[in-house]
Structure 1
């Protein structure tokens, strides 16, 4: 299948991961197990997922003038991602995430945004030609929301399709929602965006309807092992995910989003694209790490 160009705009972090039996309580020190240092950041993770799964990807982001940032860019380039529009912040350090993973595969994450927090509209404007050549723009919320709003507005003016993974969760302006082709919150993010606690298909429908009425064309609420809830053209369904034994859920959502945009760029239906994304995310949770857990196209049975 022929893929159209994909523009991913977002964060690049270095993830420092410790495996442990359980999360520490406030004031508690525990001895963890294995330590890993991996390339991460939701934007970079989604770019890696998209390119490994067959996409033609340009990444727009910002790094610090330090070893973490230089390594991150080298790794992205090695993946085959166009990194010509990654800017360098000479003041702030590159982003870092501290991740604890318990025995059940659940994670707890604290992010120091660093240079990601200074990605500006001016930084994005350098990639204007790439935007012209791309059909889809994929973003998240680990960069400044005013920058996300600006990019969505410019992209829609150029008749591009904007996909937003609203993570980490934050309240969003109606103007931004009106500029979205597709949004992919998980249950927690959907609740923060709509005020509806998502626990099942009925509550997912309520939350998705609110987002749709605010102007989002397609709403997908990811629901972990249960799969993904889809609302499009007034019709809803749950597209189930493969059953696997989860080891680490870090970057499962990023893998889902990267896979989703690739499938859409190839002209697949939204249902087919979600099924493809579910398969990719299911593989990722059986592995430890962020970008290190992302599968390649050949691993997914279409």
Structure 2
């Protein structure tokens, strides 16, 4: 049983601030720290730490940051045979502002992520064909994402599209997605819903299904998550924790969700598990803070 994650690898530079700046405002930061991240890497590490063999298909540069990133993946149990080092390229970089209330702002410079190609997907086709699921995001080129989904679909592999960062072109990928997992902002931008009322959530999720996705769910931050199941909205509340840093919480949710799906959970139970994993992740400063399976099950027992 395995999962393939095709996507981004970034070095994350965090700047801790009292509050997020307004446009044209200069503020003084409180501290700076560095970590390894990227939506693809975060999701791959979550899958591996939560107990599924995980392969990463990605690109890094030939700079000093690349071995840090690949070493981090290896140390966390992710297989890196299909992480390609590109001569002359820089490893992806993310600058992340984190406020005291846990909210964040992120600017990503793609570097090698922007050079991941359909040929790189073809080179990994054997591991895709043998996998239970493929997870993709939108921090690598859309044609590469499309090709990965096409190859996975051709082999009968579960395809999960996390349309982040949001891009209207993601709507064209819906027919290739068995499951699409936007957050609330991404759902609004993709479907044009005006708010997050229950009626709007139903309208938005139905629009994604109408665009071709087999199933659709939305993560709602501190408001939990919701999915469209048999035409009805099923909503789960968030687990109650003290938030310190929300960076990467959606990535942990996606990794945990797919881990439980390939282990045989239905969508609702997988969402409940993923909600607990993502809740625990926001209690620690960093983009890659996936808890252990024991920690997740303990929280679920404490807050059933």
Question: Would the TM-score normalized by the shorter structure come out above 0.5?
Answer: yes
Q: CA deviation at 1:89?
A: 1.3
Shift of 1:128: 1.0
Q: Within 1, Cα distance between the matches of 2:169 and 2:195? A: 18
Pick aligned residue for 1:300 from 276, 279, 296:
296
* Deviates most, 62-71 or 227-236: 227-236
1:195 Cα offset (Å): 1.1
Decide whether the 8 Å contact of 1:249 with 1:284 is kept in 2. yes
Q: Are 1:129 and 2:129 counterparts?
A: no
Trace 1:217-296 onto structure 2 (pairs within 5 A).
Answer: 217-291=214-288, 293-296=289-292
Please list every run of 5 or more consecutive structure 1 residues that lacks an aligned counterpart in the other structure: none
Q: Summarize the alignment of residues 190-209 of structure 1 with structure 2, pairs less than 5 Å apart.
A: 190-209=187-206
> Retained in 2: the 8 A contact 1:187–1:198?
no
Residue 107 of structure 2 corresponds to 110
Question: 1:217–1:232: 8 Å Cα contact kept in structure 2?
Answer: no
Give yes or no for contact 1:201–1:238 (8 Å, CA) kept in 2: no
Measure the CA separation in 1 of the matches of 2:233 and 2:15.
39
SS in 1 for 2:168: coil
Aligned length: 298
Of 57, 61, 66, the match for 2:63: 66
SS in 2 for 1:172: helix
Number of the residue aligned with 1:51 = 48
Query: What's the TM-score, normalizing by structure 2?
Result: 0.95
- What is the rounded CA distance, in whole Å, between the counterparts of 1:153 and 1:128 in structure 2? 11
- 1:188 and 2:182 equivalent? no
Task: Give unmatched runs, 5+ long, in structure 2.
Answer: none
- Partner residue, 1:33: 30
Bigger Cα displacement from structure 2, 198-207 vs 25-34: 25-34
Shift of 1:173: 5.3
Structure 1 residues 3-14: aligned runs within 5 Å? 4-14=1-11
Cα offset, 1:58, TM superposition: 0.3
Shift of 1:172: 2.6
Per the alignment, residue 42 of structure 1 pairs with: 39
> Do residues 139 (structure 1) and 136 (structure 2) align?
yes
Q: Which residue of 2 aligns with 1:84?
A: 81
Question: After the TM superposition, which of the residue ranges 7-16 and 166-175 deviates more from structure 2?
Answer: 166-175
Shift of 1:175: 4.3
Q: Check whether the contact 1:60–1:85 (CA below 8 A) recurs between aligned residues.
A: yes
The 1-side partners of 2:160 and 2:252 are apart by 14
CA contact (8 A) 1:18 1:101 kept: yes
